[in-house]
Amino acid sequence: MDIQWNILAEYAPFFLKGTLLTIGLSLAGILIGTILGLFIGLGKMMKNKLLSFPFGLYITLFRGTPMLVQIMLIHFAVVPLFTGGTNGIAAAILTLSLNSAAYIAEIFRAGIQSIDKGQMEAARSLGMTHVQAMRYVILPQAFKRMIPPLGNEFIVLIKESSLASLVAAPELMYWGRAMQGQYFRVWEPYITAALIYLVLTLSLSYVLSRLERRLATE
């Protein structure tokens, strides 16, 4: 296999720029997605069916349609609706956040519901309010159980951010495709991109496993 290192060197600054944007998009997606997801997950757990319905609908829609379709719709229809113009980066952040929120909502719900009912009853009988019981007893325990599925979701999110290349947001995959298009070579751009994605996801799973060990009680 002949690898032309010189064209890779030429594109290195673009790959660097693209990687930084990929990290930015992923971090924004993770942060906004987690906050939204917590809110939506709590919403779906409400006992009142009428109130919880919109949250359930949201999860169904975003989890049940391909992200490729979501990013195209948001880029060409939703973002122009608000700003009058398109913006690939804004569309990518919005799509990643909204999409991951749907998954994270379910992770939160599963985490909280996995805590034994007796924990809440015990906390309440100690005189805590419902909010206090949630905050000091249920959530800390639930959070520990949520770390592995959350890490999973974050890793998927980093990889899914490559779809932003289709709406011309100049992230990692965009430059990989641009390089492929210029030289009509597949190995150099795509293996480079794959390796960078791998480094990004590996670092994230390292951070998460550290966090997991730190929170371990046994």
Nearer to other proteins, 124 or 177 (CB): 177
Among 44, 174, 196, 204, binds other proteins (CB under 8 A): 174
Task: Give the shortest CB-47-to-other proteins separation in angstroms.
Answer: 43
Answer yes or no: are the C-beta atoms of 172 and 162 closer than 8 Å: yes
Classify 86 as helix, strand or coil: coil
DSSP 127: T
- Footprint on residues 140-169 left by other proteins (CB under 8 A): 166-168
| Helices assigned H by DSSP within 78-186 | 79-83, 88-113, 117-125, 130-133, 139-160, 172-183
Q: Does 66 bind other proteins (CB under 8 A)?
A: no
Classify 40 as helix, strand or coil: helix
Q: Does 182 bind other proteins (CB under 8 A)?
A: yes
Task: Give the shortest CB-84-to-other proteins separation in angstroms.
Answer: 6
Q: Does 14 bind other proteins (CB under 8 A)?
A: yes
Nearer to other proteins, 104 or 172 (CB): 172
Q: Does 76 bind other proteins (CB under 8 A)?
A: yes
Among 64, 84, 118, 127, binds other proteins (CB under 8 A): 84
Instruction: Record the tokens describing residue 14, joined without a space.
Output: 């673009």
Task: Give the shortest CB-24-to-other proteins separation in angstroms.
Answer: 16
Instruction: Record the tokens describing residue 4, joined without a space.
Output: 């032309």
Q: Locate tokens 């942060």: which residue?
A: 31
DSSP 137: I
Q: Does 24 bind other proteins (CB under 8 A)?
A: no
The rounded Cα 133 to chain-centroid distance in angstroms is: 29
Among 29, 37, 43, 88, binds other proteins (CB under 8 A): 88
Burial of residue 147 (CB within 10 Å: 0-12, 13-18, 19+) is middle
Q: Which amino acid is at 165?
A: S
Q: How many residues bind other proteins (CB under 8 A)?
A: 21
Q: Does 2 bind other proteins (CB under 8 A)?
A: no
Report the interface residues with other proteins, using CB under 8 A. 14, 75-76, 80, 84-88, 166-168, 170, 174, 177-178, 180-182, 184, 186
